[in-house]
């Protein structure tokens, strides 16, 4: 087979870390890309906020557009590569413009797709174009491809993942160094690991975006980021990590999506997972996704969740698919056929880890136990920690309960007069 297809021409919007990573791959591996796809892959035009900046790769062979929308509409662009980020504004405008102009889209933008993914997928479908987003989920790990294509013969069970490297870095460094959350947050900030709005990371939003995308593919549902139960890692204390460790667990910001009888469950919350499980062993900024299907049983994928090379590698996976003529629906099946599932996370059960601070007076523990009992929550283990002062930390591990019942019990703690401070409640996930 000789190369008879015309070159595939990319327009890259965004020349930050990821965009430059893509430029470098296209420049350095032109022969490899052509050999594998059967056609040349070229960059014809680029766009970014400031033109002058030295970005570490020559850009003078490419047309420059100040406006990503103009880039998206250019006649010499076949694939619009959106690596700007942001769910609204230029990224959204330019993506819509690209589809309207008959371009395929490759994007690393989890926020855009988590919020507008369904309408964009419908628009692309109508226009006969594809939107691909391998780089939006778990960096270099080919998880979108593995799920959409590799496991296409499976009815999916649970999809789980540690998909925010910054949070996992903070949590594992808290344990490794014995420093508290605040100190590690400051360190992550200094290392440049945090988004401009750090709440995207530590609040679980970024990881929640990714989970919502995977859930859509896994269960054939319209992406529903608002349906994700979100909780950040800000309230996880060193004490929690230590206590969990004593019981054989690690604390991870874990995403879980599954379809229950009552609807779709989507959660991105700090969880306790067995210390010896692959998820429990995950250190630092690495990502891990666990895919469970009825035939395949369990697949675990591990790799770098961010960074120039890994994210650019994922972008190029999508570009190469398009170069090779692979055209898959955005979420793995025609957008029109995606269903709207009820949200069901409140009704699923699990054991929970609770940390309370009790006023140090007789009967306090009994009152707490009574409130839990009143809400149908039975106690597996309870332990009072040695303490100084008037507030006694207590660790409780419950038997299976719904989050809804637990939230009611937590609210009722306030009426006992013995619980100081808001309790910490972390689900124990059987991974």
- Write out the catalytic residue numbers: 210
Shortest reach from residue 244's CB to its own copies, in Å = 20
Q: Which of residues 189-248 bind its own copies (CB under 8 A)?
A: 220
Determine if 328 is a binding residue for its own copies (CB under 8 A): yes
Determine if 162 is a binding residue for its own copies (CB under 8 A): no
Determine if 376 is a binding residue for its own copies (CB under 8 A): no
Neighbouring-strand partners of residue 357: 393, 420
Determine if 301 is a binding residue for its own copies (CB under 8 A): yes
Rounded to 5°, angle at Cα 200 from 199 and 205: 115
Q: Please answer whether residues 289 and 161 qualify as being in contact, where contact means their C-beta atoms are separated by less than 8 angstroms.
A: yes
Q: Reduced to 3 states, what is the DSSP secondary structure of residue 289?
A: strand
Rounded to 5°, angle at Cα 60 from 59 and 62: 75
- Tokens for 254? 């874990």
Per-position x/- string for 329-368, each x denoting binding to its own copies as judged by CB under 8 A, each - no binding: x--xxx-xx-------------------------------
Determine if 118 is a binding residue for its own copies (CB under 8 A): no
In the complex with its own copies, which residue's Cβ is closer, 24 or 262? 24
Shortest reach from residue 287's CB to its own copies, in Å = 10
Q: Which of residues 400-419 bind its own copies (CB under 8 A)?
A: none
Determine if 99 is a binding residue for its own copies (CB under 8 A): no
Q: Please answer whether residues 165 and 305 qualify as being in contact, where contact means their C-beta atoms are separated by less than 8 angstroms.
A: yes
Cα 106 from chain centroid (whole Å)? 18
Q: Please answer whether residues 405 and 376 qualify as being in contact, where contact means their C-beta atoms are separated by less than 8 angstroms.
A: yes
Which DSSP string do the residues of 385-403 spell out, in sequence order?
PP-SSSEEEEEEEE-SEEH
**Candidate residues 312, 358, 368, 394; the one interacting with its own copies per rule CB under 8 A:** 312
Q: At what angle do helices 308-323 and 17-28 cross, to 10 degrees?
A: 60
Q: Please answer whether residues 160 and 287 qualify as being in contact, where contact means their C-beta atoms are separated by less than 8 angstroms.
A: no
The interface region with its own copies, picked from 135-143, 251-259, 344-352, 416-424 by CB under 8 A, is 135-143
**Candidate residues 262, 302, 343, 399; the one interacting with its own copies per rule CB under 8 A:** 302
Cα 18 from chain centroid (whole Å)? 17
Contacts of 180 (CB under 8 A, 6+ apart): 174, 237, 238
347-380: buried (b, 16+ CB within 10 Å) or exposed (e) per residue?
Answer: bbebbbbbbbbbeeeeebbebbeebbeebebeee
The interface region with its own copies, picked from 59-67, 226-234, 252-260, 311-319 by CB under 8 A, is 311-319
Determine if 303 is a binding residue for its own copies (CB under 8 A): yes
Determine if 56 is a binding residue for its own copies (CB under 8 A): no
Which DSSP string do the residues of 24-61 spell out, in sequence order?
HHHHHTHHHHHHHHSS-EEEEEEE-S-SS---SS--TT
Q: Which residues are annotated as a binding site for NADPH?
A: 110
In the complex with its own copies, which residue's Cβ is closer, 25 or 200? 25
CA distance 319 to 32: 13
In the complex with its own copies, which residue's Cβ is closer, 141 or 418? 141
CA distance 405 to 414: 15
CA distance 367 to 362: 10
Determine if 161 is a binding residue for its own copies (CB under 8 A): no
In the complex with its own copies, which residue's Cβ is closer, 35 or 370? 35
In the complex with its own copies, which residue's Cβ is closer, 51 or 336? 336
The interface region with its own copies, picked from 197-205, 242-250, 291-299, 373-381 by CB under 8 A, is 291-299
**Candidate residues 238, 320, 346, 369; the one interacting with its own copies per rule CB under 8 A:** 320
In the complex with its own copies, which residue's Cβ is closer, 191 or 404? 191
Q: Which residue has the tokens 């309207």?
A: 100
**Candidate residues 180, 198, 274, 309; the one interacting with its own copies per rule CB under 8 A:** 309
Determine if 310 is a binding residue for its own copies (CB under 8 A): yes
Interacting residue ranges for its own copies, rule: CB under 8 A: 1, 21, 25, 29, 32-33, 35-38, 125, 134, 140-142, 145-146, 149-155, 220, 278, 281, 293-304, 307, 309-310, 312-317, 319-321, 324-329, 332-334, 336-337
């Amino acid at each position: 087979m000789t190369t008879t297809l015309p070159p595939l021409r990319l327009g890259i919007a965004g020349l930050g870390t990821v965009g430059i990573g893509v430029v470098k791959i296209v420049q350095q591996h032109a022969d490899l890309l052509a050999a594998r796809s059967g056609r040349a892959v070229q960059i014809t035009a680029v766009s970014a906020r400031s033109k002058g900046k030295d970005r570490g790769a020559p850009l003078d062979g490419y047309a420059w557009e100040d406006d990503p929308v103009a880039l998206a509409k250019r006649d010499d662009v076949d694939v619009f590569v959106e690596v700007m980020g942001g769910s609204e504004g230029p990224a959204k405008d330019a993506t819509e413009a690209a589809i309207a102009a008959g371009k395929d889209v490759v994007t690393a933008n989890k926020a855009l797709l988590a919020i507008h993914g369904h309408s964009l997928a419908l628009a692309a479908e109508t226009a006969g174009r594809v939107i691909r987003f391998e780089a939006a989920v778990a960096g270099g790990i080919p998880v979108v491809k593995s799920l959409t294509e590799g496991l296409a013969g499976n009815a999916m069970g649970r999809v789980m993942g540690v998909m925010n490297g910054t949070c996992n870095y903070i949590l594992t460094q808290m344990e490794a160094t014995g420093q508290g959350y605040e100190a590690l947050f400051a360190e992550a900030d200094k290392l440049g690991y945090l988004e401009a709005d750090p709440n995207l990371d530590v609040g679980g939003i970024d990881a929640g975006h990714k989970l919502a995308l995977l859930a859509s593919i896994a269960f054939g549902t319209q992406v529903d980021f608002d349906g994700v139960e979100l909780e950040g890692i800000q309230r996880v204390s060193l004490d929690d990590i230590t206590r969990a460790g004593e019981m054989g667990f690690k604390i991870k910001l874990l995403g879980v999506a599954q379809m229950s009888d009552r609807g779709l469950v989507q959660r991105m919350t700090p969880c306790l997972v067995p210390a010896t499980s692959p998820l429990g062993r995950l250190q630092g900024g690495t990502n891990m996704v666990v895919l469970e299907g009825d035939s395949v049983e369990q697949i675990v994928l591990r790799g770098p969740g961010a960074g120039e090379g890994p994210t650019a590698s994922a972008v190029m996976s999508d570009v190469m698919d398009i170069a090779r003529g692979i055209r898959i629906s955005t979420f793995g099946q025609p957008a029109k056929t995606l269903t709207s599932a009820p949200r069901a996370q409140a009704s699923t059960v699990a054991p929970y880890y609770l940390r309370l601070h009790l006023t140090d007076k007789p009967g306090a523990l009994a009152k707490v136990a009574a409130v839990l009992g009143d809400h149908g929550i039975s106690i597996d283990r309870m332990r009072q920690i040695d303490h100084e002062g008037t507030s006694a930390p207590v660790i409780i591990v419950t038997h299976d309960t719904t989050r809804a019942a637990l939230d009611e019990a937590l609210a009722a703690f306030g009426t006992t007069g013995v619980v100081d401070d808001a309790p910490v409640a972390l689900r124990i996930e059987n991974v």
